[in-house]
Structure 1
Amino acid sequence: MSWMRRPAWWSVLLTVAGALLFVRLGFWQLHRADYKDGLLRRYAAAAAAPVQRFDDVVDHLSADTYPRVRVHGHYLVDRVYLLDNPMHDERGGIEVYAPFLPDGHRRLLLVDLGFLPGNGTRRRPLPPPLPVGPTTLQGLYQPSPGHGLEMGGDALARQSHWPKNTIYLDMKQVATDLQHVLFPRLLVLDPEPATAYMRRHRLDFGAMTPARHRAYAFQWFTFAFVAVVIFLVLHRKKRAPGRPRDEST
């Protein structure tokens, strides 16, 4: 090409390698977005699916399924966990979790009772008492929300009074705190008009939603385009300066 200088081999290699890497990362982000869109569709379908017996699905469960189950057992009524960080609106509030022992099992099932709205003050709302004795629960059996880095280590181990407060739901910490084995997933209860809790079935991806993955894909594709443009600009031939005009007559 007459308008380009001959590039060094290493500059061509770096540009091609960089552009291919950025494109590959972009397509990987698109793949993750499509995968999570599929999870959301299956999750939405599960919320309206027929109810199954907990014992029929708990040991025969694939990673990407979210069965709606009914389970019989009883709560450990004196063991409640309050998740402090969710914000459904400007009033704040808490997400309430309680361990439940299904009939015929030795493992505990952690139950998400729902979101208890605050009143706009710093005073934490108090969860209603749990039912005592045999209880039947119904909801989605799903993975627990991810947890981040909790500064200061395990906050549950430092608390001696119930209910206990936490800013992340760490299933391993809860199992250690209860000194009991937990089922690997938790039960998110179905909405119920008569309860004080706000319940909404949702699959929590944290910050990495499908839309965020697509935004990152666009970013990586832009990097690939910019890498090629920079290569072309740096290797463009400079125009020769024009010859001075002869002003003699």
Structure 2
Amino acid sequence: MKSSHHLFSTLIAKRAVATLSALLVIAIGCGAGAWQLRRAETKIALAANLAARQQMPILSANAGPWTLEEAGERRMTARGRYIPEAAIWLDNRPRPIPAGGTGNAAQAGFFVMMPFRLEGGNEVLWVNRGWAPRNNESRESLPPIETPTGLISIEGLVFAHPGKVYALGSEKSDIDPNKPRIAQNFDLEREGQLHGWSQAPFILRLEEMGVADGLLREWAPLTTGVDRHYAYAFQWFALAFAGFLFWLISGLRQYWRSNVARGQGE
């Protein structure tokens, strides 16, 4: 009993700072590891939901109007005309790399957001036409792309927005909405106010493949990065375990040294 009390005193009571530090490292490591696991589970669930909704009947934008709740993450067709003069080039977008594909994910470029006026009405559907590389020597120079003229049919997946990136400050207020421009993020509601358009409450991510228009549409699956989340979780849990081991081993060494000193003093 006396020995166990002495062990407790050596490990904890006499090492309050070391114990609190170890607890902090363990708490941070376990919390961050659990968060990474939740991120992985969320991506897997989103991918499963997306796959399920893609199996539902294909919607027609021209048969709308549709709400985001009705159309979100479903396949949709649309017939109409592009409005290229109002295109928005979303900057700092990494190149999409499909599962098992090749390419440099670190290569920055643009997502080309272009309004698409639906046939038979005045409603506009914003379309993410794909990714284009950025000119590293001249950031303001837009890469050449081909835009179909006249009435066409397109197909893609419905999303709430094209994804967001961190932006310093806000976009200039004195912009010409009828000229192509570079922006950091896309605000659907703001674009509707700038143009005075009746708009669908979502965007369509184009899924056309093999079209030589200068744009890449090999979209990465939603589960991209799951393995990375698991690796990060392992690292955080390993950090927590290492903190516990360091605290325990250093405390036991101190306990053994004190026992040797007590034995020599008797």
The yes-or-no answer on 1:58 pairing with 2:66 is yes
Structure 1 residues 211 and 184: alpha-carbon distance in aligned structure 2, compared to 1, 3 A threshold: farther
Post-superposition offset of 1:15: 5.5
Contact 2:68/2:201 (8 A) holds in 1: no
Cα deviation digits, residues 36-57 of structure 1 (max 9, x gap): 0232344456667753334579
| Distance 1:229-1:93 versus aligned 2 partners, 3 A rule | closer
Taking structure 2 as the reference length, what is the TM-score of the superposition? 0.67
Moved more, 90-99 or 65-74: 90-99
The structure-2 alpha-carbon separation of the partners of 1:172 and 1:233, relative to structure 1 and needing over 3 Å to count, comes to farther
Residue 247 of structure 1 corresponds to which residue in structure 2? none
Residue in structure 2 matched with residue 246 of structure 1 by the alignment: none
- Indicate whether 1:30 and 2:37 are aligned: yes
Distance in structure 2 (CA, Å) of the matches to 1:177 and 1:228: 57
Alpha-carbon offset, residue 138 of structure 1 = 1.0
Structure 1 Cα separation of the partners of residues 28 and 14 of structure 2: 18
Q: How high is the sequence identity, in percent, across the aligned residues?
A: 24
1:84 alignment partner, SS class: strand
Change in Cα spacing, 1:47 to 1:224, as seen in structure 2 (3 Å) is same
1:116-149 Cα deviation digits (max 9, x unpaired): 45688644323334423x4432111123233233
Which residue number corresponds to residue 125 of structure 2?
Answer: 109
Q: Flag the 1:35–1:92 CA change in 2: closer, same or farther, 3 A.
A: closer
Q: CA deviation at 1:34?
A: 1.8
Hey, what's the Cα distance between the residues in 2 that align with 1:148 and 1:9?
49
**Within 1, Cα distance between the matches of 2:52 and 2:250?**
53
Alignment pair present for 1:198 and 2:216:
yes
Change (3 A) 1:62 1:31: farther
Mark the runs of 5 or more structure 2 residues left unpaired by the alignment: 96-102
Root-mean-square deviation (Å):
4.1
Partner in structure 2 of residue 8 of structure 1:
13
Structure 2 counterparts to residues 74-223 of structure 1, below 5 A: 74-88=81-95, 94-102=110-118, 108-117=124-133, 122=138, 123-132=141-150, 134-155=151-172, 157-160=173-176, 162-180=179-197, 182-196=199-213, 197-203=215-221, 209-223=225-239
State the shift of 1:225 in Å: 1.5
CA contact (8 A) 1:143 1:185 kept: yes
What do residues 156-177 of structure 1 show as CA deviations (whole Å, max 9, x unaligned)? Answer: x343361111233344553444
